[in-house]
Chains A and B, each alone.
Chain A
């Protein structure tokens, strides 16, 4: 029996670029290069490893985003995913996590799945709540923040390293898994993978296809509103000294002056 895996990925502005907000307080996507969120590469990698172990598996990579978001899908396809779905619609602009998760959930249901895999958080919003929200919307168990994951005989198991304990988790499929950056280095696409990706199918869906009304998403339809975004003033230049034998002592002097000692 075929194992249908859907991996949700996000196209994000490069964190090393000069990220800004636009006038409507959404993320400025024009002035900074976008890419597949690094944390989602781990999700793709785990999907590939799970598929390798399964008798028969198919990996669909799914994203919600503007035209350029296809780049994220291409990257995942070149790593080895089988096909891709791109949900794109002008009305999606400004969607928050609740609105985006609604779209993802409808698309996942339409695509059909046994296992949904996501990264632990996006590298732009960094909320880390989408996996739990998706599990709630889909009505399936959440097996989240895994540093190790395995799927066997319709059961997913994994290790979750929390603040106070490390837990072993278990759930029956269908289920939703999120993986951390400790789950295993993501592979680089090979030249062959990159060439093969060009021939893999990428479907484009819009809101109508998913039976979502335009007022359920976008800036208007979102569940949160941003009132202001202010660039933090650059820190005033601090004191920098060169250690010539007394560096530790001068630092202690500073800390004492600040009442830390």
Chain B
């Protein structure tokens, strides 16, 4: 026990002695959390639109006003010439082009049918889909209004309809930050906890100091605990620090008991630290360790449901995410904070994480004995 204490003391000293590391461990993550949470936003506004109004009728003007009044679109240029508009689209100056052909109003009255053209810059597929969706629904409601006005109809005269009432639970204002901040926090904690510890062990290997430790009476078990525990503590501290910052800045809701988040993080970090340890057992240099960690980290982040929902992945990819510890952590932290999930709801995930931690650490320690 005394040995362990001294090792811990040494490790903490080494971590805190490195002055440039301190801000990287404590300041950079929190600044990123605060800044980047603003970046993570799928809400599409200020789509720039070019309107090619070749009709110039009162209805075409009404349609234009309706589009611009929606708040989704801002007019970049109104023109007669489709070529100019097309050029704007090609040069990224406009996100979409609405063309109102000549005789739009006349055709609508005489033929009961008129056609509009929308061209969308679809390089960003999801954005283009949303933009087209917004435009179509505005045009649709313009169309309904037109019918009502022109035919002097009344809502109740129309055909039978299903009235859909939409309720948004747990985040009625659809505040995307409530969803993102806990997720990003999860990633930062993962970075700090797991990958630093793994790198730290390889460092001893690379500089040869591990040999010296091996010849001292320190047991391997003590050495591993000494390497992992400091980062476990630092990461949990980081989590608390980030949560407080998030609460203060973003006014994050805490529906459930925050204790579950910390307890879960404690188990989760065991798994992540184990992964770091595992990586360090079969690498010789920090460079190799860094690459492997980076590789896993990118997969954890992009397949962890942080930015793109896991539900939107194909089934085989969803199966892969079952082996992604970060996906569970991100899910649980969101469940507890936003939905108020308690023990009964998350115990299954606790179980999974315990198994993860046990398996990964088991393999790591087994492999460690063999290699060193």
A joins B in a complex: no
Please give the residue numbers on chain A whose beta carbons come within 8 Å of chain B beta carbons, in ascending order.
Answer: none
Please give the residue numbers on chain B whose beta carbons come within 8 Å of chain A beta carbons, in ascending order.
Answer: none
